[in-house]
Amino acid sequence: MITLDRLTKRYGERTAVDGLTLQVKPGAVTGFLGPNGAGKSTTMRMILGLDRPTSGTALVGGTPYHRLDRPLRTVGALLDARAAHPGRSGRAHLLALARANGIPAARVTRVLERVGLATVAGKRAGTYSLGMSQRLGIAAALLGDPEVLMFDEPVNGLDPDGVRWVRELMRSLAAEGRTVFVSSHLMSEMQLTADHLVVIGKGRLLADAPLSRLLAATEVLVRSPHAGDLADRLTAAGLTAVRRGENELVVTGATVERVGDLAHEAGVRLHGLSPREPSLEQAFQELTAGSVEYGVTR
């Protein structure tokens, strides 16, 4: 488990992370979302002891990272896909990490096979594509068979098959009871991968909830030759009905059953009635609307 208690980081007058308090629990994939500059990478760096908090604490399994005896056995992380020495082979990079953490060399072979790099393990890391470097970084994170795993943008540079592989890997690790904490800007992928979401903006916590709860605001799409009359009836009942084309309405604030009942009571013929869940991208934009540092003026 990862536990943050009022975690704060300031750089001069700028506050990068502002009093974050949350728990990242085992057995689930927790997505870590936020606009550029929200403080995601800084938060992860503080968890791993790479940046010192101005105040507050970050614990991994109840212990600060710098007090872990052999940290790779407790927490594995991928923050920078290009972190490996470019002159070393992929295998040599992992062997060096294994020796420093008392991990058997046989484990290197196993993780190389798991990430699909066994056939190129002898090549210099500097010759790897970004996607291959991501896989090497994931191998390093898995090396100590840790209970806690952290990944910062792990699908960058991967092709569709690679993206699906990462998704399945994250979910399989969580299914084993591990803590999996992953940041990404790809909302569609997070919607397919994450069980739980933590959203921050300008360093502050905006949401800490199951994915299903963030997507719970269902809209109802209605098609009717009398859409205008139905819109009036629904509005009178306290619902929000927005015309979308001549014969379509998007209704919020009610279930499909409620809209159908109101249409029946009003004697309005329906040609279509279906729920429409908002996408994670839509929910994310609504949550972070006031937290974007760099916006485009239209």
Decide the pairing of beta strands 248-252 and 240-243.
Answer: antiparallel
Q: Which domains does the chain have, with CATH numbers?
A: 2-210 (3.40.50.300), 219-277 (3.30.70)
Q: Is the pLDDT of residue 298 over 50?
A: no
Q: 30 burial class (0-12, 13-18, 19+ CB within 10 angstroms)? A: buried
Residue 285's pLDDT band, with cuts at 50, 70 and 90, is: confident
Beta strands in 74-226 (DSSP E): 75-78, 148-152, 179-183, 196-201, 204-210, 219-223
Closest Cα to residue 170, out of 159, 161, 157, 179? 179
**Percent of the chain surpassing pLDDT 90:** 76
Sheet with strand 272-276: strands edge to edge: 240-243, 248-252, 219-223, 272-276
What residues pair up with 196 in beta bridges, in sequence order? Answer: 30, 210
For the segment 15-74, what is each residue's pLDDT rounded down to a tens digit?
Answer: 999 999 999 999 999 999 999 889 999 999 999 999 999 999 999 999 999 999 889 999
The per-residue pLDDT for 246 is: 87
pLDDT digits (tens, 9 = 90+) for 245-265: 889 998 887 788 999 999 999
Helix (H) or strand (E) holding 45: helix 40-47
The 10 Å Cβ neighbour count of residue 26 is 16
pLDDT in tens, 184-227: 988 989 999 999 999 999 999 999 999 988 887 668 899 999 99
Provide the pLDDT for residue 252: 80
Predicted local distance difference test score (pLDDT) of residue 297: 43
Mean pLDDT of 150-168: 92
